[in-house]
Structure 1
Amino acid sequence: MTRAPRRAGVVALALILVACGSGGSDDDVGVVPGPTPTPTASPQPVPTATSGPTPVTTTAVTRTPIATLDNPWAMVFLPDGRMLVTERPGRLRLVTTSGQVSTAIAGVPAVAYTGQGGLLDVALDPAFATNARVYLSYAETGTGGAGLAVARGTLTTDAGGTAQLTNVAVIWRQAPKLTDVRHFGGRMAFGRDGTLFVTAGERHQGAPAQNLSVTLGKVIRINPDGTIPTGNPFAGTANARPEIWSYGHRNPYGLVVASDGRLFESEMGPEGGDEFNLITAGGNYGWRLVSEGNDGEVLPRHSTRPDLTAPLFSWTPVIAPGGMIQYTGTRFVGWDGDFLLAGLVSQGLVRVRVSGSTTTEAARIPLGARIREVEQGPDGTIWVLEDGGTGRLVRIDPA
């Protein structure tokens, strides 16, 4: 359950490059995007005598800027139609669809706002309507450096109408903490059974993504209180962390439990090789044994290791994927069921279609800015967050 072109984009990009280096397809790297592919036509419904004209797949959109924020990273819609939006420096805000932005919500844990770290994703408890619980992922400091953490709290409103988080508690911490400030991951998604999936980046370390005794380069699965659910694939394995669901990941920034219950993930490759994956329990996705991109050296491809899980789709040149959703609305004709990936380098949305055993890039929707996050509104509109210090919240409608 994470938004007109920005004028400060070059400055923000330069600052991140200083902190994180250059090369590869990380979101902080200004790789020149490749040519936009020709959109693949969506299947057209067969009209009946009374059906009227055949619907035409939406190919053009309009953009309406709504608000400007400081390094926004994720958002989620509340039942009342407002949004919770995270700002990476450590602020959580309430934002209305008309653009009213609240003061920072009190109670947010202290974050390590450094490199690619800070306040990251926000998700609502499946029972939010009754328990008002909110989940935050963020980078925190501790012994050895910084590391990903997940906390939950209760969203309350005081007598004056000011929102705050109460009863905040950390429910999970990535181990170990490191001085490197890249590749935190941090996306969250609830499964149909109420368990919580979290993407944990490999912190630019490479090899530990294959090590089951640490939670670098993993997708983890926990209960909402942080305990270990039944059914985790490595819970009974010696020297393995019981919360691990899958491993061999690099820098995973997209996570979606699809309408059919399957778990899909997207992650940044190194120099090429961004991935769109179907995540299964116990799966090894190969990093850094194999990749569809290179990492200062030519890496073996997934095809050389059939024992490792290959991506459903990969990109070279890169798109640098941020947040991801599965679109389930009707406003954008022909998009229902497709996945929308926020593109940082590709500066727009990338529409991916999964049909049986085939995965294709259906189209690209250029938006003229680095897009960090995408979300679907209750009315089927699409909302995106632009990246950077003056990143805008933008509503997307069919043209």
Structure 2
Amino acid sequence: MHTPTRRRFLAATGLSVASLAGCTSSESRPGTPTGTPSGLRLSGDELLSGVPSPVDVAVPRPDEYFVADQTGTVSALDGADASPTTAVDLTDRMVAPGGEKGLLGLAVHPDYDGSGRVYLRYSAPLRERMPSDYSHTFVLSEFELSDGRIDPDSERVLLEIAEPQSNHNAGAVAFGPDGYLYVAVGDGGGGNDQGRGHVDDWYDAVAGGNGQDVTENLLGSVLRIDVDGGGSRRPYGVPDDNPLVGREGLDEQYAWGFRNPWRLSFGPDGRLFVADVGQSSYEEVNVVVAGGNYGWNVREGEPCFRAEECPSTGPDGEPLREPAIQYPHDGDGITGISVIGGYLYDGQEIPALRGRYVFADYLAEGQLFVATEGDDGWSTTALPISGVEPNVLAFGETPAGELLVCSTGGSGGAVHRVRTA
């Protein structure tokens, strides 16, 4: 979405993202591409270098960039040729970054006009009220943003979640076309969605876990909250049409059954794309709908997980939804080990990519993946990209729909704008 006032439009028309996401057929989406973009080669124009681990980038206005680095800083650029400045340094309130902990997500409020609010997701020390054998605290906070500076003293903590183990922290945050904030939460870490901090669920073939639980904690889910609301119980509001409001379960949850949802984004048609890092066999990207159960740890991708047979529905008969895009860790063609979610391309500079979902895998050096939706589902191909450091960590999108890619490795971390070679 490129229009910051979209929420006002939706409110006036009575629409919500729940009615947009996942309810539009390919026949009704004009310009749906066919085939694969054969022969296309991509390249990257460097926007920012010297950031060790850039994990998120926001462009709230043309040529105004904010880059979140896992080490705990946000860099600001006013124009592609400008020198970066430090918008904020949060290292004094974080645990030591490393592995999957750190500053993990950034989203600027849609009403931003040069000043406004920004939302940062980071890993903090364990709070006293949390179990002493847990690893750290998931923190989502609101800050004031003005003239390229984020005021560290303005922090308003919205959400804290006890993280039982050090990994599977997810971290993506993004505003939907409805103006609500969507928050990706991993399953709490460890292997197989089991071990310390993993609850008993309805599925007995594999012990645990948080991905299939909607009542005990918020782990293994995508949350949807109203940062402009709030009251005595919470510093944020819960949309009335969240799927578990008035039902058994935690009201913030929008969809569940995730392992480590690493990056999420909204397409120009309102659909929510969530990439979920797999355990040992498959990586997946899901087109997420309200109340959807995406299978973990009953399934890893489409196949059953650690079982020869498994159910295709949850405890109330709801379907365990299959991924839109899936690829193996070992096999012919598209392979990898850790999916990096991207965007449904909506720009003008690379016509062959329009309407296609562009993403990556952490180990796919010199390649981006491009998925094309057709009558029989999604087909995926790899496209070469030059001039970009190995180990892609994240993508970004400009207001015009052009792609940015964040990577680490090689000579250091950097952010590039994607173009044709």
TM-score by length of 1: 0.77
| Aligned AA (1:124) | V
Question: What is residue 373 of structure 1 aligned with on the other side?
Answer: 394
1:349-380 Cα distance to aligned partner (Å, 9 max, x none): 21112345621214433456111112233455
CA contact (8 A) 2:34 2:373 kept: no
Q: Tell me the amino acid that sits aligned with residue 346 of structure 1.
A: A
Distance in 1, matches of 2:115 and 2:343, equals: 24
Corresponding position of 1:262: 271
Q: Relative to 1, partners in 2 of residues 1:275 and 1:383: Cα closer, same or farther, differing over 3 Å?
A: same
Pairing 1:343–2:343 present = no
2:136 is the counterpart of 1:136: no
Q: Count matched residues.
A: 341
Question: 1:390 is matched with which residue?
Answer: 412
Distance in 1 between residues matched to 2:186 and 2:291, nearest whole Å: 17
* CA drift at 1:335: 0.9
Identity of matched residues, % = 23
* Contact 2:53-2:71 within 8 A present in 1 as well: yes
Residue 28 of structure 2 corresponds to which residue in structure 1?
none
SS in 1 for 2:182: strand
**Cα drift, residue 218 of structure 1:** 0.5
Per-residue CA deviations over 1:75-97 (Å, capped at 9, x if unaligned) read 11131512101111111111342
Residue deviations 1:287-332 (CA, integer Å, cap 9, x gap): 111113899x844577x52531111121102432224122111111
Match of 2:85 in 1: 102
Q: Which residue is 1:5 aligned to?
A: none
Letter in 1 for 2:143: G
Secondary structure, aligned partner of 2:351: coil
SS at match of 1:115: coil
CA 1:216–1:92 in structure 2 vs 1: closer, same or farther (change >3 Å)? same
Determine which structure has greater relative contact order: mean sequence separation of CA pairs < 8 Å that are 6+ residues apart, divided by chain length: 1
Alignment-mate amino acid for residue 63 of structure 1:
G
2:50 is matched with 68
Q: Distance in 2 between matches of 1:234 and 1:340?
A: 31
373, 382, 401: which one aligns with 1:354:
373
Pairing partner for 1:172 from 150, 159, 167 = 159
In the other structure, the counterpart of 1:223 is: 226
1:285 is aligned, of 287, 294, 310, to 294
Instruction: Return 64-73 or 107-116, whichever deviates more.
Output: 107-116
1:1-399 counterparts in 2 under 5 A?
A: 43=34, 59-66=40-47, 67-95=49-77, 96-98=79-81, 100-105=83-88, 110-112=93-95, 113-129=97-113, 132-142=116-126, 143=130, 144-157=134-147, 164-165=151-152, 167-174=154-161, 176-178=162-164, 180-205=165-190, 206=193, 207-212=209-214, 213-225=216-228, 226-238=236-248, 240-292=249-301, 298-300=306-308, 305-306=312-313, 307-317=319-329, 318-319=335-336, 320-347=338-365, 348-355=367-374, 358-367=377-386, 369-378=390-399, 381-388=402-409, 390-399=412-421
- Structure 2 equivalent of residue 31 of structure 1: none
Query: Does the 8 Å contact 2:176/2:266 carry over to 1?
Result: yes
AA in 1 matched with 2:213 = N
The question of whether the paired residues in 1 share the 8 Å contact of 2:392 and 2:407 is answered with yes
Query: 2:39, 2:403 → 1: CA distance?
Result: 13
Query: Do the aligned residues in 1 keep the contact of 2:33 with 2:355 (CA within 8 Å)?
Result: no
Stretches of structure 1 lacking an aligned partner (at least 5 in a row): 2-40, 45-55
1:191 CA displacement: 1.8
Partner AA of 1:129 in structure 2 = D
2:41·2:384 contact (CA, 8 Å) conserved in 1? yes
**Alpha-carbon distance in 2 for matches of 1:109, 1:241:** 31
Structure 1 runs of 4+ aligned residues shifted over 6 Å read none
Secondary structure class of the residue paired with 1:334: helix
Cα 1:310–1:215 shift into 2, 3 Å = same
Give the partner amino acid of 1:369. P
Two-structure CA RMSD over aligned residues (Å): 2.9
Question: TM-score, normalising length from structure 2?
Answer: 0.73
Determine if contact 1:146/1:177 at 8 Å carries over to the other structure: yes
Equivalent-residue separation in structure 2 for 1:204 and 1:107 (angstroms): 23
